Amino acid sequence: MEPGNGRDSGELRGDVHSEIPYVHRIGVPPKPNLRKEFKAGVKETFFSDDPLRPFKNQTGWKKVVIGLQTVFPILDWGRKYSFGKFKGDLIAGLTIASLCIPQDIGYAKLAHMDAQYGLYSSFVPPLIYACMGSSRDIAIGPVAVVSLLLGTMLQNEIDYKSNPAMFRRLAFTATFFAGITQFSLGFFRLGFLIDFLSHAAVVGFMAGAAITIALQQLKGLLGIKHFTTKTDIVSVMRSVWGSVHHGWNWQTILIGVSFLAFLLLAKYIGKKNKKLFWVPAVAPLISVFISTLCVYLTHAEKQGVQTVWHIEKGINPPSANQIFFSGEYLGKGFKIGMVAGMIALTEAIAIGRTFATMKDYQIDGNKEMVALGTMNIVGSMTSCYVSTGSFSRSAVNYMAGCNTAVSNIVMSGVVLLTLELITPLFKHTPNAIIASIIISAVVSLIDVEAMALIWKIDKFDFLACIGAFFGVVFISVEMGLLIAVSISFAKILLQVTRPRTALLGKLPRTSVYRNIQQYPEALKVPGMLIVRVDSAIYFSNSNYIKERILRWLTDEEQILEETKQPRIAFLVVDLSPVTDIDTSGIHALEELHKSLDKKSIKLIVTNPGQAVLDKLHSSGFASLIGQDSIFLTVSDAVLIHAPKFEQA
């Protein structure tokens, strides 16, 4: 089909004496400008939201104000803040504080840190996030999964029992580099990298981590003094059953099991009646108060009941001088921090997006990463370990009626008062109640419904989910994470290297061509084989696509020969789903053309996108097959080469 026929309509008529109606022709796009194409590609990949747009056509002072509001969103929404909003934030902040205080003590133990470090991590980071974050609902602090992951990876480098000071230094170093990782991803707008950890892998990893965390709490729940440092289920159960005759304490078990039942009942009540959301929120604090009072009055610690014993009083001491900026632990801290930071980031962004959707507002993913990174960098210098968004606390924050991030400031204020005034009262708090609180909190991480849905939708996704789950439960937390990432990448590679192709047929009484497997009533065109490629064509899959098309052709020729039908004269390749093609892809099409030419079969391509068409012309492939072999639609190609069938 000749493009330069002088028509402005974008259509090409067949022979004037023919009864064939108009068919659309493919327009030849202008030759792309390399600089503009590169600039557009970079902008779409890294700056699709155009961060400089608010600064356009603004005065110098206005640009400064907008810049400050961009970095600190509190300066923007804070101008419209009202007492009515504060009432909702105050109630929400007090509610999540009652939940976070006992949780923080337990999560610090998961990270093999003293209890006060959990509280420190719910004081400074929430204040930083409240100023810089864009989510109204997310509640900041330590979380179970990140605490377990951090504690496990740190323990592999330094034993927290024999050298607690060096262990803490490495923890602060890892937290610093977790913040650097998060900040860098946001600043350079590389947030799309966290999407490589698929939803299915995250579901499996979280469920496995929940099982592992619950098993770790058997030490406190049963009163076992000597417990394995390994996290796999085999080692944990061997340690539990190996101490059944001499290590279990019945008073501890009574306290732990009783309050665990109470906490699970409170969680059930809150789930059944959304108006009673405050019941599971305050239940942990009530449990701590009652159990501490009981131990104090009965002197149960003399009967073998283990208690928290001591929590350092006072606010966060500085720790910038404890971060390793050189030496052998620098690299180890960077590696641990990068992994913990990515997991923390994945959880926080998922939580932020969930609640933003529920309240119908937008959050800026890159700003979130910068905010989370900054709070962890500052946190590492103020005796905090990795903090992120907590789903359980964020859910309570949302249901309590929070309006802005001020609820985090209120929570931080309550934690401050706790550190300054109340910490000595935790001296008699039993470890069993902390274990019960953690077990009740991580139960919600096991999402059986999500796993069942993944199984129904995509079996390969389920493999990633279950692989991550068993990796965490039976090997280790970091190995489960590695399995999850590996399977996610394997899925991407499989989809890229083995893309789908389909044979097309015409739906009766229409001009629509669809997959004959999906639509059995679709009719094949006599003398034609129509194939659709459902992927971009790159070096990784070009040979497979060429060979797959030739196999389609061979199979079809055998069927036609057996049924004594006319041979195939045209091969139509529908490129409408093909978003891009590289040099290897062009070379594969050229080889396909040569193979077909030997069989006297004409190659026709339909509906190539602009990027593909640019390269077909630049490479000379369009000239090789001829302009009359490129059509806008499959229907047009059939209309020209098999008009009787098209009109049937």
Three-class SS of residue 125? helix
Neighbours of 315 (CB within 10 A): 15
As a residue count, the chain comes to 648
We report the CATH number of the domain holding residue 533 as 3.30.750.24
Residue 447 phi, psi dihedral angles, 5° rounding: -100, 85
Helices (H) and strands (E) in the chain, counts: 27, 10
Extract the tokens encoding 27: 């327009």
- Domain contains 155: yes
Partners of 187 in the β-ladder:
none
Closest of 111, 178, 97 to residue 144, by C-alpha: 111
Q: Which of 430, 462, 489 is the last residue of a domain?
A: 489
- Domain contains 648: no
pLDDT of residue 644: 61
Half-sphere exposure of 257 toward its Cβ, with a 13 Å CA cutoff? 8
**Residue 464 predicted with pLDDT over 70:** yes
pLDDT of residue 47: 54
114 alpha carbon, distance to own chain's centre: 30
Amino acid symbol at 182 = Q
pLDDT of residue 6: 37
- Domain contains 578: yes
Are 444 and 523 in the same domain? no
Partners of 523 in the β-ladder:
506
pLDDT of residue 484: 81
Give the residue-averaged pLDDT of 551-570.
Answer: 91
Extract the tokens encoding 625: 């097959």
Residue 174 domain boundaries: 82-308+317-489
pTM for this predicted structure: 0.79
Element (H, E) at 297: helix 278-298
Q: Which of 458, 489, 520 is the last residue of a domain?
A: 489
Query: In whole angstroms, what is the distance from residue 226 CA to residue 243 CA?
Result: 8
Q: Tens of pLDDT along 361-413?
A: 888 888 899 999 999 999 999 999 999 999 889 989 998 889 999 999 999 99
Spell out the residues 6+ positions from residue 643 whose beta carbon is closer than 8 angstroms to its own: 20
pLDDT of residue 340: 94
pLDDT of residue 17: 38
Half-sphere exposure of 585 toward its Cβ, with a 13 Å CA cutoff? 20
Are 480 and 510 in the same domain? no
Are 481 and 597 in the same domain? no
Are 449 and 571 in the same domain? no
**Residue 43 predicted with pLDDT over 80:** no
DSSP per residue, 476-545: -HHHHHHHHHHHHHHHHHHHHHS--EEEEEEPTTSS-EEETTT-TTPBPPTTEEEEEE-S-B-TTTHHHH
Extract the tokens encoding 306: 């283990």
**Residue 27 predicted with pLDDT over 80:** no
- Domain contains 441: yes
Share of the chain above pLDDT 70, in %: 90
- Domain contains 561: yes
pLDDT of residue 392: 86
Max distance between CA atoms of the chain, in angstroms, equals: 107
The dihedral through the CA atoms of 84, 87, 88, 93 has a sign that is: positive
Three-class SS of residue 18? coil
Q: Which of 489, 513, 541 is the last residue of a domain?
A: 489
Spell out the residues 6+ positions from residue 233 whose beta carbon is closer than 8 angstroms to its own: 211, 212, 215, 473, 474
- Domain contains 587: yes
**Residue 439 predicted with pLDDT over 70:** yes
3-state DSSP helix/strand/coil % of the chain, to nearest 5: 65, 5, 30
Average pLDDT across the chain, whole number = 87
Spell out the residues 6+ positions from residue 604 whose beta carbon is closer than 8 angstroms to its own: 570, 571, 572, 573, 625, 629, 630, 631, 637, 641
Tell me which of 38-52, 113-127, 140-154, 445-459 is least confident. 38-52
Q: Tens of pLDDT along 201-260?
A: 889 999 999 999 999 999 999 988 888 878 889 999 998 888 887 778 889 999 999 999
Are 566 and 480 in the same domain? no
Half-sphere exposure of 118 toward its Cβ, with a 13 Å CA cutoff? 29
Q: What is the CA radius of gyration of the chain?
A: 32
**Residue 463 predicted with pLDDT over 80:** yes
Are 210 and 234 in the same domain? yes
Element (H, E) at 552: helix 542-562
Three-class SS of residue 615? helix
Are 216 and 288 in the same domain? yes
**Total domains in the fold of the chain:** 2
Are 226 and 353 in the same domain? yes
Partners of 25 in the β-ladder:
631
Are 424 and 352 in the same domain? yes
Are 250 and 294 in the same domain? yes
- Domain contains 56: no
Q: Tens of pLDDT along 277-289?
A: 889 999 999 999 9
- Domain contains 330: yes
Closest of 500, 396, 357, 387 to residue 124, by C-alpha: 387
pLDDT of residue 3: 39
Query: In whole angstroms, what is the distance from residue 229 CA to residue 236 CA?
Result: 8
**Residue 469 predicted with pLDDT over 90:** yes
Half-sphere exposure of 427 toward its Cβ, with a 13 Å CA cutoff? 8
Query: In whole angstroms, what is the distance from residue 437 CA to residue 418 CA?
Result: 18
pLDDT band for position 10 (50/70/90)? very low
Are 95 and 211 in the same domain? yes
Are 476 and 562 in the same domain? no
